[in-house]
Amino acid sequence: MTDKAHALDLVLSRRSVSPRFLVAPTPTPDELALILRAAAAAPDHKNLKPYRFILIPPERRGDLAAAFRDAKAERDPGAPAAEIERAGEKAYRGAMLLAVVLRIVRDHPRVSVSDQMLSAGAALENMLLAASALGYAGCLRSGNSATSRRVRLALGLPNEEELAAFLMLGTPAKEPRPREDAPADLLSVWK
Ligand SMILES: Cc1cc2nc3c(=O)[nH]c(=O)nc-3n(C[C@H](O)[C@H](O)[C@H](O)COP(=O)(O)O)c2cc1C
């Protein structure tokens, strides 16, 4: 396969792998730096970089779990203890865990909020693709508790930043399903 065909194959075949199946080894610091360069290579109107990432080291997973449990209890006060416990367990999934933070400039004179959101999405896809190119896989998870005010405060985000999702990376312990064909209605012709 030529380099170009290989690059295209990587894009066409990328699949998310469930966090439970993202195991060690994880990207090395140099590989993570490459993955972040891939994020920064995404199209970005006026180069605002309307996103950033917070690496959750293994020793802080317990604190994140506590924040997830608090968030679940706050959102669903009648939830049984087992459900609250389960909300906390999500903090331990995925061998490498990064919080995805949006820092959108809401009143930018030239760059709309949607431009900035799209840029962040493109950055995330670039990260997933870079991780795949390095032999890893990844997955995005949001969810009401995970991205709640409680968790945002626990991570120390200021008011103007939003906790959008968590990005998990690792070695896939399971072969992902092959990608289906693109739906036929992705493109129409303006008549
Ligand atoms: C920002 C973002 C957040 C997501 N959050 C969740 C989630 O909380 N739960 C979930 O099941 N899938 C979530 N997904 C979807 C999965 O990460 C994944 O993209 C989807 O299952 C499709 O798999 P694929 O990437 O292999 O096409 C999210 C996707 C994005 C882009």
Domain boundaries, given as residue ranges, for the chain: 18-170
Q: Token pair for residue 137?
A: 């896989």
Q: Token pair for residue 64?
A: 């994140």
Q: What is the pLDDT along the chain (191 residues), one digit of tens a residue?
A: 899 999 999 999 999 999 999 999 999 999 999 999 999 999 999 999 999 999 999 999 999 999 999 999 999 999 999 999 999 999 999 999 999 999 999 999 999 999 999 999 999 999 999 999 999 999 999 988 778 999 999 999 999 999 999 999 999 999 888 899 999 999 999 99
Does the C-beta of 142 come closer than 6 Å to ligand 1? yes
DSSP annotation of 182 reads P
Q: Which of 141, 162, 163 to mutate to test the pocket of ligand 1 (most atoms within 8 A of CB)?
A: 141
Residue reference for tokens 């070695």: 171
**Kind and range of the H or E run holding 52:** strand 51-55
Total residue count of the chain as it appears in this document? 191
Domain 18-170: give its CATH code: 3.40.109.10
Q: Which of 15, 17, 142 to mutate to test the pocket of ligand 1 (most atoms within 8 A of CB)?
A: 142
Q: 137 C-alpha to center of ligand 1: Å?
A: 13
Residue reference for tokens 């030529």: 2
DSSP annotation of 95 reads S
Q: Token pair for residue 28?
A: 């090395």
pTM: 0.96
